[in-house]
Every structure is written in C-alpha cells, then in structure tokens.
Structure 1
Amino acid sequence: MWQALFDITNVIALVGWAMLILLPRRESVLFAVLYGAIGLLCACYIVMLVSLVGNLVDPVPAAGSLPQPEFEYSVQGLMAMSRSEGAIVVGWTHYLAFDLFAGLWIARDADKPGVSRLVQVPFLLATFMVGPMGLFAWLIARAFLGARADDAG
C-alpha cells in the first residue's frame, strides 16, 4: 500500500512540475498546479497522516527496526518515528507539496517583472531537486533579475 501511495504522490508532483516548467503560464495552468497538484498532495498528506497517527493503517515498520517508543521531540525521536514505510511516505509527500508550492511561487514571482522562462528553469529545477537550495538561489537572484523584494507576498 505505501509503495503505491509513494508512486501516486510522485506522479502528481511530476505532473505539477511538468506543467509549471513546460506549459504556458495561463491562469488555468497555474490553477491546475495549485489545486490539481499541490492541493491534491496536501489532501493526500492529511489523509495519510491522520490514518497513520490515528492507527487506522499499519505503518509497516522498516526491516530490523525496534518497536517505536513514545514520540519524543528530538533527533532520536524523529529517527524512531520515521522507521516505518508510512512515516517515510507521509514525510516525502510533505516535501513534494511544499517544494512544488515554492516552485509555483518562484514562477509567479519571476513572471511579474517578465523574467525569461529560460532563466527561471534552472531555479525551478533546483527547487524540484533540492527544494530549499533552489528557493534560496531564487531569493538571491531575484534582486538582480528585476523582481522586487517588497513584492514577496
């Protein structure tokens, strides 16, 4: 089950990224990315998280891992919590949704002052692959590419 959910969420994210990078930036495309991809990833995340935390589904512990102790807010606690297929898929879906949201923001932010799509692509691909690094690169570059810092909202 968890592998299937992992596959489904990855397809949703890939479709969203492909639309964002390859299609014309019409409002209908941006709407589809926001609600059809990001919104759907968020909905999947919520259902999986509630199901997992509410013990409605089996988290399928990773092979060789010890039984999970009560959650403790620490590095060790996070490691213990993430030793299941369910926790990994829920966490990965979290990354997929937020990275795509950051990519959508970058695209919209870059479109406002007319930054070329060819210039945008490396930032979008970096955000797709290494989320915060791509976003950070855009935050630095926007000052030099005509985007205004006071227009961040």
Structure 2
Amino acid sequence: MGLEIVFSIANSTALICWLFLFVFYQKRWVYRGLFSIVFPLMAFLYLFFILRGIGGESRGGVDSLANVKLLFSVDEAVLAGWIHYLVFDLFVGMWISQDADKKGVHRWMLLPCLLLTLMLGPAGLLLYFLIRSGFNRKLIQDPYAENLVH
C-alpha cells in the first residue's frame, strides 16, 4: 500500500472520529471505540512508519531544529509524524469532550474548542482551558474536580 493511500486513510479515519466525537460526545461507545480500536491501530501505523523512516541509517536527531528536519526528511518519517499529530490531537479532543460533558459545558461552546484542536492542537486546548476557567471562575485548573462551581 502506497504512502499516499495510508495518509488518506489515516486522515479520513481521524476526521470521522472527530465527527463522532462532536455528535456523540455523551456516548460511552465513542470513547471505547477510540481507545479499543482507533488509537491502537493508529499507534501500530505510527510505529511501522517511524521505524521505517528513522530506523537504520537515518540522519538527524532531536538535539537541534536542523537535525529534526534531517530526521524527518524521509517520507515514511513524515507520515509517522503526521499520524502522531492525528492521534494526539484526537486524544486531546476526546479528553476535552469527556471533561466538557462532565462539567456541563454546552456542545456549541465545545465546537470551537474541538475545531481548533483538530486544526491547531494546543490552541484548541487553550481555548477549552479558558472556557473551563470562566465556568470555574478561577484560573488554576484541577483536572480531577467533579464540579466547576465550588
């Protein structure tokens, strides 16, 4: 299977998961499906392509930006890096959705957070933290707090 096909399948899978996450965020089967099927499969894909992309005689490293660029100069490593983004952003989106449901954050306030997390990862998480802080009326966050208002 070609790299472009794997890229398309990974992107399509992630997009479908994001849609399910927004539409069915209150359903436990969404989270079970992500944890039991999607994340393990994407993690396997990641491992397969990262080992092909940076294994063996690859150049580069993680000690400088120039070396990171060299490390990801192989298409398989770039694909693995993209899958990495897809999985971790989806995981963050899942956490945001689950936390928002527990805290009673309305779905339409959740939508911009999820869209930003899908497109710009940490920006969506930041927006959710700001919304959560507004509900909680304090800047310091407790990820384990059951209620927003104390």
TM-score (norm 1): 0.81
5 Å-filtered alignment, 1:1-150, equals 1-23=2-24, 25-55=26-56, 69=59, 71=61, 73-146=63-136, 149-150=141-142
Aligned equivalents of 2:137, 2:86: Cα separation in 1: 25
Which moved further from structure 2: 72-81 or 87-96?
Answer: 72-81
Q: Mark the runs of 5 or more structure 2 residues left unpaired by the alignment.
A: 146-150
What is the rounded CA distance, in whole Å, between the counterparts of 1:42 and 1:147 in structure 2?
37
Distance 2:29 2:99 in 1: 17
Q: Secondary structure at the match of 2:142?
A: helix
| Structure 1 residues 106 and 131, CA gap change in structure 2 (3 angstroms) | same
**Is the contact between residue 38 and residue 100 of structure 1 (CA under 8 Å) also seen in structure 2?**
no
TM-score by length of 2: 0.83
- Distance, in Å, in 1 between the alignment partners of 2:46 and 2:71 is 16
Q: Tell me the CA shift for residue 103 of structure 1.
A: 0.2
Give the length in aligned residue pairs.
Answer: 142
- C-alpha change, 1:136 and 1:15, in structure 2 (3 Å) is same
**1:22 to partner: Cα distance:** 1.6
Mark the CA change 1:53 to 1:144 in structure 2 (over 3 Å): closer, same or farther.
same
Change (3 A) 1:152 1:132: farther
**Deviation of residue 146 (structure 1)?**
4.3
Runs of 4+ in 1 over 6 A off after TM superposition: none
Percentage of pairs with the same residue: 30
Unaligned runs of 5+ in 1: 56-67
Higher mean C-alpha deviation, range 30-39 or range 84-93:
30-39
